[in-house]
Structure 1
Amino acid sequence: LSVKMVSQQQTKDSGSKKLGMVAPQDKSSKEMKSLKKMKFASSSAETEPTSQTTISDDSKTGRGMSTMPRVVKRKLQKLRPIVEYNKRGKGIGQAHSEMQSYIGVLARSRVPLVDKKWSQIPKDVKEQIWEAVDMAFVVGQGGKKSVLTSAAKKWKDFKSTLTRHYILPYTNDKEKLSHPLETYKFIEKAQWDAFVASRLSKDFESVHSQHAQIREKLEYNHRLSQKGYAGLEDQLEETMPGVEIDRSTLWKRARQNKHGNIPDPKVAEKAKLIDELQKQVSEGKVRVDGSKDVLTMALGPEHPGRLRGVGAGISPRQYFNLPKPQRVSFDDRLKESLRVLLQEETKKMEAKAKEEALRMEARTKQLVEVEREHFLSQLSQLIPNFDPGMLKQRISQSPKNPMSDNASCSGGEVKSLHYEDDNAKNGEHQKEEEKEEEKRDEEKEEEKEKKDEEKHDDKVIEVGDYSNMEAPSSLKSLCRYVETTLLPEDKILQFTIDKEVFGGDRDTFLLHEDITQFAGMEEIGATVVAVYMRYLHDVLKQANMCSMVGFIDHATVSANSGTIADRSRLVAARLQKTDGEQIFMMPYNPGRHWILLIVRAKKETVYFLDPLPGHRVVDEEAKNIVNSAIKIYNTHIARAGRKNVIWKTLSGTPKQPSSVECGYYVMRFMRDIIMDPSLGFENKYAKGNQEASYPKEAIDEVRNEWAEFVFQIIKQGNY
């Protein structure tokens, strides 16, 4: 590097090399040597430094103490060394080294010794440091930011040095810690005492221990002085002209001692590997490509955004000349954002329309289900010994139960019940009917004879093979019983659920399809869930928990039960039949999917459990029904109640693995809740507790209990 010196007092004599400084013979050889290595700029236009920005060399005590008098002298002579930078923008040369030392002097003497962060230091103190440095050096491209960044680090290092060398070794010697150091007389006693107290605190002890552990993890420590990697590279370029200095060479040289040896065995091993790789690269055996260079191959991949062997502030993109990320104009970004937003909104609208269509379809099927049970119930009350099997051929029913989850429900068209009185004849065709009646009588006789013959055959009824069905043995046996006994006799399982279960008697009709669908792990309907709730009521009775847990019939909140106001009154009537301490479990199917609501009327709180994964929200219709029911309940017990009912989503429930298990999971939810006498379901199903699926054994346990309970009803003849 060439060296130029320009002075305010420089003469026009071309043969003179002297500067506007004192004569060389008056200077020490060390000062002369350092001056020859620096460029200078004139500062004639500058004003005299004030007492606030100049470090005086006259006094050796107090805040103005200086350890670099040559810098102050040059400032008085208006000479400012020019700080030079390498191709990567890192400071190099004698001027940079002296500037860094001067910044260290300012950071130690000007910044108070306090237990604070650099960001908490007053701005005027930082401004004084910058002004002092700017008066003494031509900082150049680094600017104010680089100076203050360096000052922050040196201030932090100064506090660390005081802590390690002058405080921690004397923790048991209070006398030595009671007075500031003679070396740093500018430190005030009050500041020293406060600083010592902060360094002996338990908080600092914890932080110091953490940093010590981090320090121990550093394997390859360098031996650089303040010149850093940039100064080392500058030095090697002077001593090794024409040789390319890559970061692997810098990394290795930075860990050598003054004799060129590497004392650390681990570092020496890596240095040997670097030498071998460099040799292979020179021989063409190994190829380097961008960031995959010799040092990366020796030490492993870099941390994102960081680079070893080049010093702080150098990014991989700067060092390897990687292309800058392509900038996209604001208009293009806006267009892309609008395009993505439009696609998302379109998908949402399509999904919403599809969901609404499915919801309407499910509600229609739900109405048919409830109408069927209501109609059969009325017939059983009007007609003595009424057998629903006589209507079986006149009921067209979907193979899949209408009250199901979000699986496919396209198994067939659901039609309303149709009952036709065989005695009702059309007058216009009465004669024709009479002729056909004789013909039918003859056919009936022939059919009767044929049936009598079939009774003597070895096998009349084909029973399905359930051996390969993945179901509990009790459920397989139930399926066989239905096919061999109920179907041949055209029987339907009809029984009454006692009023103590739902608050009123409920006639229930269990069809063959309900059982086979349940056995095949298909989507299930309202009847299957109601039967299991009847079983759980027996479990509550045995545990003496009926005063703690009750059930609300899901049929009372179905659309067939009337308007929202009508259904709210039905739910409120169920709540009024207790002392208010109970929780009520209410399965609910808004359409193609089962959920569970738990109503705690006394606390005006409702819990929402949904077996589907993801963020789920409560159906608005169900919410309105329950909210209104609780308000009616409050009126009944003469309580004003809160403005809004509290709804809590318990998202930590197990999640169904596919689209057909929601009904089974809701039944398992109810079972798990009542099996815990403390009723700690709120904590058990809190967010993040458990979101994995139930194991197969847990669902089969529910199915087995359901099947055994149905068998118990059959054996007791209560159908």
Structure 2
Amino acid sequence: MLKLPKKTKKQKRNSSPIPNAPMTQDKSHPSQRLPSQNEVVSSKASVPILFKIPSGVPHSLKCLLTTVKYVEPSFMVKVPMDFEILGHENDLYISQEDIVHFGLMEEIGASCISLYIRILYFQLVKREISHFFCFVEPIWLSNVGSTEEERVEWISKRMIDSNPGQMWLLPYHKGNHWMLIIMDFDHQLCYFLDSLDNFPPDEIKSLISCVFQHLRTNNAKTKEVAWRTVKCPRQPSKSVQCGFYVMRMMKDFVTNEFSMRWLTSKCGGKNSYTKDEINEVREEWAQCIMDLMSTT
């Protein structure tokens, strides 16, 4: 079992502006900057989403889908994101489209992943080990409306005050596919987990190398980045469950008493996730939304 790092002072709040993540995946965003939340909201408030609730949906998710089935297309759930969760304080917005895609197990976007990071963060706080795991904003690793220089700057600012012993979780999106990087910052070692069993793309390896190069210029102690590809659970063929698999892998890693043993043993030797294991993540996500809706 890893020795937990000592709790330290909160990371210094960044005074420079950091963009919010788009609420859903943007498959072909032409802009060279991340769109603002208001721009994304206005693009979604157009036509109603018609859908049928499938059988076998977890209880909370079924209730949530039933609720949003009759709302206006402009419906949004405001989710407060504390500074400690992703290193910048902001409001996350979950749309009707996000909820429907999540409920029907279709392709999900960065906002859905960010919301689940929030859920995991508060579980870690409850267990008093939130200082051991850190998360990076999912959209920052993706080539969506931003330059590599901008992404390097954002990620570097997030990681510059990393404490000894901390492990970093970086959800990564490329080509409509979600993958996960788990980083041992102390040893500059990146574990790459892909439910389609691919190797880490050169693009992400280059980005992470640039991040550490940037940290070196800011007097952080770094060395060359090493990569290890981890044999992780495989998603069903012809499915779009990669986002759900990333969420479940994050959960398994941060909630496992022997997290590094789980990671280095090919995710405990698990070949795939059962429907119940994926539904556990979906239920937590839906219950969080329901709780937020009940307080507004």
TM-score range, shorter chain: 0.7 to 0.9
Find out whether 1:554 has 2:138 as its counterpart: yes
The number of residues matched between the two structures is 269
Partner SS, residue 602 of structure 1? coil
User: How far, CA to CA, are the matches of 2:132 and 2:169 in structure 1?
Assistant: 11
Tell me if the contact between 2:81 and 2:90 (Cα under 8 Å) persists in the aligned partners: yes
Q: Aligned to 1:511, which of 82, 91, 95?
A: 95
TM-score, normalised relative to structure 2:
0.81
Q: Aligned to 1:711, which of 272, 290, 293?
A: 290
User: How far, CA to CA, are the matches of 2:37 and 2:295 in structure 1?
Assistant: 25
Partner SS, residue 155 of structure 2? helix
State the partner residue of 2:272: 693
- Mapping of 1:32-431 within 5 angstroms? 364-365=27-28, 371-372=34-35, 374-376=36-38, 388=41, 392-393=45-46
Partner SS, residue 249 of structure 2? helix
- The alpha-carbon deviation at position 532 of structure 1 amounts to 0.7
User: How far, CA to CA, are the matches of 2:112 and 2:273 in structure 1?
Assistant: 20
Q: Aligned to 2:212, which of 630, 634, 639?
A: 630
Between stretches 504-513 and 657-666, larger displacement belongs to 504-513
Alignment root-mean-square deviation, CA: 2.8
- The alpha-carbon deviation at position 636 of structure 1 amounts to 3.4
Partner SS, residue 252 of structure 2? helix
User: How far, CA to CA, are the matches of 1:593 and 1:530 in structure 2?
Assistant: 16
- Cα deviation per residue 1:386-413 (whole Å; 9 max; x = unaligned)? xx579713xx89x8xxxxxxxxxxxxxx
- The alpha-carbon deviation at position 577 of structure 1 amounts to 3.1
Partner SS, residue 581 of structure 1? coil
User: How far, CA to CA, are the matches of 1:479 and 1:539 in structure 2?
Assistant: 25
Letter in structure 2 aligned against 1:647 = W
Tell me if the contact between 2:143 and 2:174 (Cα under 8 Å) persists in the aligned partners: no
- The alpha-carbon deviation at position 627 of structure 1 amounts to 1.2
Structure ranking higher on relative contact order (CA contacts 8 Å, 6+ apart): 2
State the partner residue of 2:255: 675
- Cα deviation per residue 1:49-104 (whole Å; 9 max; x = unaligned)? xxxxxxxxxxxxxxxxxxxxxxxxxxxxxxxxxxxxxxxxxxxxxxxxxxxxxxxx
Partner SS, residue 603 of structure 1? coil
Tell me if the contact between 1:564 and 1:625 (Cα under 8 Å) persists in the aligned partners: yes
- Cα distance change of structure 1 residues 469 and 365 upon mapping to structure 2, 3 Å threshold: farther
User: How far, CA to CA, are the matches of 2:155 and 2:193 in structure 1?
Assistant: 19
- Cα distance change of structure 1 residues 631 and 561 upon mapping to structure 2, 3 Å threshold: farther
User: How far, CA to CA, are the matches of 1:389 and 1:594 in structure 2?
Assistant: 26
Structure number having the greater strand percentage: 2
- Cα deviation per residue 1:654-674 (whole Å; 9 max; x = unaligned)? 111123111110000000001
- The alpha-carbon deviation at position 558 of structure 1 amounts to 2.7
- The alpha-carbon deviation at position 589 of structure 1 amounts to 0.7
User: How far, CA to CA, are the matches of 1:590 and 1:487 in structure 2?
Assistant: 31
State the partner residue of 2:85: 501
Partner SS, residue 594 of structure 1? strand
Tell me if the contact between 2:160 and 2:220 (Cα under 8 Å) persists in the aligned partners: no
User: How far, CA to CA, are the matches of 1:478 and 1:605 in structure 2?
Assistant: 40
**Aligned residues with identical type, % of pairs:** 28
State the partner residue of 1:592: 176
Structure number having the greater helix percentage: 1
State the partner residue of 2:199: 617
Contiguous gaps of at least 5 residues in structure 1: 1-361, 380-387, 400-462
State the partner residue of 1:222: none
User: How far, CA to CA, are the matches of 1:534 and 1:555 in structure 2?
Assistant: 15
State the partner residue of 2:17: none
Q: Aligned to 2:105, which of 509, 512, 521?
A: 521
- Spell out structure 1 runs of 4+ moving beyond 4 A: 388-391
User: How far, CA to CA, are the matches of 1:704 and 1:363 in structure 2?
Assistant: 25
Letter in structure 1 aligned against 2:28 = K
- Cα deviation per residue 1:256-314 (whole Å; 9 max; x = unaligned)? xxxxxxxxxxxxxxxxxxxxxxxxxxxxxxxxxxxxxxxxxxxxxxxxxxxxxxxxxxx
- Cα distance change of structure 1 residues 708 and 555 upon mapping to structure 2, 3 Å threshold: same
TM-score, normalised relative to structure 1:
0.35
State the partner residue of 1:645: 225
Tell me if the contact between 2:141 and 2:173 (Cα under 8 Å) persists in the aligned partners: no
Partner SS, residue 92 of structure 2? strand
- Cα deviation per residue 1:127-184 (whole Å; 9 max; x = unaligned)? xxxxxxxxxxxxxxxxxxxxxxxxxxxxxxxxxxxxxxxxxxxxxxxxxxxxxxxxxx
